[in-house]
Amino acid sequence: MRSILFKILTLVLITNVSLWIFFLASDDFVQNHINSKKDHLFVTSLLYGQMAAPILNDSTLTEFQKTVKIGNVFSNRDVVNSKSLNIYRFDAGKSIEEWFKYFDGSKHSRQLPIKISSLAPIALNDSKADPSAVEHLVSRLFELYKPLVDRKVLTDPMVEERSRFFSQTEVLSDFDNAYVLRILAPIRNGRKTIGIVEVRDYYEIQDAYLGRNKIRLRFLAGISVITLFLALALSVSIAFPLRRLSKRLNQKISPTDIAEQLENFGITHMADRHDEIGKLQQSLLKLTSQVVELFKEKEQFAAEVSHELKNPIASIIAYAETFEGQTNEVREKITKIKAQAIRMDRLVTEISETAIVDHDLVMQQRECFDFTDTIHEIVRHYEDTNQCGGLKFDQDLQPGVSFTGLQERWGQVVVNLLDNAVSFTRPAGVIRVTLNQHGKQGICFVVEDSGPGVSKEMGEQIFERFFSSRTGTASKENASGLGLALVKQIVVAHGGKITVDRSSLGGAKFEISL
């Protein structure tokens, strides 16, 4: 599950990437400028053709004379503005290199056609030392930008022979990230082509791109930095507090004093916040306080109900005992009444005990105790009070097994499991109690008997409240069905697990893992 911090930073990243992509994709300055230059060169080639046509059409002039006159006309730099101009005599069947050349403008020096004077001072100031970060960034972006422009601008090489019929235009990539724009335009005498005008120009895309986009990139980089700082500020004020609050919620509560930790649940530096984060913490504090109060009220209610119910039940038992000396028929009925009253009394006691257990598991302080000694003392008590000669207890307890928990409640776990085993094993059988600890595997406590056992279908039902059977015919006399439910509740509250299986003794095997 992605955190809010991750989502904020991802959103900022996507926004910045989108801005940079839009910046690259929407910059059609070079393409438009090249198209404009192509149109300009086309018009220029027609003009040069019209200027050369009267000379080439003069049949009284020799080729040499035509060359001289054309040179005089086009050598004037105030008239000829092209960086490279060639005028050829068209010779069908020959390549352009073999055509006779009336005028050769290749001797003219090559100059940069595009100058953005307003940006030149900035470029000079930035280039006094090593290239700046902005220049490096622009250069890197240019490497991505140029292939995009190439796809839109570059053309296939022209077929020069076709220039005898109509003008031919090509844009090719030259060295040093420059484009070469070239146009061949025919000079005609009626339907006959007598000459070809070749006009060239150069467009240095990198210089134009750098000069145009330095300020734009500085502005875009500034926006990216600002959005990054805004994202960090937003993370500090919202995402980080939420993460700390989430960690506090997910923090495992120590079993030593759950009540105190619930009451002191909040995060100190969030107490003075008056925004939604502060309100959220206050709501969580109220919730934890209500949980603690609920446990207290539950214990108090159980104690009061138990007191109110046990008094009339005790009176019923006392009155039933006064009639035990009557006739056999009356005695049998009174015995049933007494048995049911005793069962009801035990049920009320265990229901009250359930509420008390809920309270103790949350409110009581947990301490480290020797589990081996606790089990040993309880088993010895059962051996001393055992009235069934055929019932045997077998102990296999590893010395010194201890852990942190509620000793009184774990004693109740042992008593409930032994009560359950005794009730289904007597008057004769074996009850085996085992305790051992295997390093990282934890503590394993097992109680098994030679009784009727538990079917797989009842493996989960047996821990439900008010369920007191093992098989279809075996059930515990005067059982409330709450003993094993309490056992599971206590074990789970201590982070353990209890399972039931078939024992090698033939009965049930209850295994607790911690």
Cα end-to-end distance, the chain, whole Å: 30
Identity of the residue numbered 281: Q
User: Residue 163 and residue 169: Cα distance in Å, rounded?
Assistant: 9
| DSSP state letter for 270 | G
| Residue for token pair 């791109």 | 209
Question: 203: left (phi > 0), else alpha (psi -120 to 50), else beta?
Answer: beta
Pairing of strands 367-370, 390-397: unpaired
**d(C-alpha 238, C-alpha 5), whole Å:** 9
Helix (H/G/I), strand (E/B), else coil: 275: coil
Residue closest to 249 by CA, chosen among 281, 276, 295, 275: 281
Instruction: Of 188, 165, 213, 199, give the one whose Cα is nearest residue 29.
Output: 213
Residue partners of 445: CB distance under 8 A and separation at least 6: 371, 375, 434, 435, 511, 512, 514
C-alpha to C-alpha distance for 424 and 422, rounded to whole angstroms: 6
Where does 129-251 have alpha helices with state H? Answer: 133-153, 205-234, 240-250
User: What domains are defined for the chain?
Assistant: 4-221 (3.30.450.20), 268-363 (1.10.287.130), 366-513 (3.30.565.10)
Task: Tell me the pLDDT of the chain (514 aa) as tens digits.
Answer: 456 667 777 888 888 888 777 766 666 677 788 888 889 889 988 999 999 999 999 989 999 999 999 888 888 776 676 568 899 998 888 888 888 989 887 764 444 444 444 444 434 344 443 456 656 666 676 777 777 778 888 889 988 888 888 899 999 887 667 888 899 999 998 889 999 999 988 887 776 666 666 677 777 778 888 888 888 787 777 777 777 776 766 655 554 455 555 555 555 556 666 667 777 777 777 777 767 677 666 666 666 666 666 667 777 777 677 766 666 667 777 777 777 777 677 667 766 666 667 666 666 778 899 999 999 999 999 888 887 778 899 999 999 999 888 888 899 899 989 988 888 888 888 999 999 988 777 899 999 998 888 877 777 778 877 666 655 444 455 556 678 888 888 888 888 899 998 888 888 899 999 8
Contact of 120 with 134, CB cutoff 8 Å: no
List residues bridging with 368 in a β-sheet.
Answer: 404
Tell me the C-alpha to C-alpha distance, in Å, between residue 209 and each of 199, 212, 241, 354, 474.
24, 5, 45, 80, 93
Residue 202 pairs in a beta bridge with: 180
Which residues, listed in sequence order, are joined to residue 203 by a DSSP beta bridge?
A: 179
Sign of CA dihedral 400, 401, 407, 411: negative
